[in-house]
Amino acid sequence: PDFELLKHEGPSLIFLICGCSARNVAQERSKPGKNKKRLEAVPWVFLNSGPGNTTKGMKAEWLTVKDGLLYVGGHGTEYRNNTGAVVSEDSMWIKTITKTGEVKSENWKDIYTNMRNKAGYSAPGYLTHEAAQWSETRQKWYFLPRKASTTVYNETEDETKGSHILIEADPELTDFKVIYVKNPKASRKDHPERGFSAFDFIPNTGDELIVAIKSKEVKGFPPESYITVFNVDGQVLLPDQILDRNLKFEGIYFV
């Protein structure tokens, strides 16, 4: 059977992946994947950062399933130092994992670069990704960036760079369409500190409707999470609704 995904936030766990007869867990940083069984956790796969030739663990931010493979991705942008120089491109690599645990590293630098260029955020600007899905029904990729900036990364300014775009792509990730998520009663300026951290397609809608989580993280304030619903054309059907205050939600899945 195909993988089923359950994104789960726990103590250092970010995704729970339900496979054939086991639950395989990919962690957010540095710790190996886990095969959770009878309250015991044993290593399943280890996701090395970048091209896979390092001992540093990958910082996983999103995952989805396409053609029987589990895709695991990071932020999808370069990391820069205080002068703006690129110090790492590791997060522009993604991993594919088979049901038997075979891991392959793929360089998505060109894909991520073409995507942000199409959206109007060319380097040193950036898009950061925490939410991506392959739609088997529509045969398209969908990305909801967390942050979108036309300027070089600045920690303080990044807090108000929340994205309001949905990016649709063909199966080969060569043709990108930028869709603005539009709430007719609001504008991006109203809540620029909110950015997408997860989404899923609402069942029985032909993958036409999306339910998404937005996160707000501002230094000196507790985190906030919001839920919203819109269609693949960007029309908002349910404006941002705050979830339990001071709790951080980064995953959503229908069972």
Known binding-site residues for Ca(2+) equal 61, 130, 197, 250
Backbone phi and psi for residue 188, each to the nearest 5 degrees, phi listed first: -60, -30
Residue 79 pairs in a beta bridge with: 88
Residue 25 pairs in a beta bridge with: 16, 34
CA distance 40 to 91: 30
- H-only helix segments in 17-91: none
Neighbouring residues of 229: CB distance < 8 A, sequence distance ≥ 6: 202, 209, 210, 211, 212, 236, 237, 238
Binding-site sequence positions: 61, 130, 197, 250
Residue with tokens 């199966």: 171
Residue 242 CB: number of other CB atoms within 10 A? 11
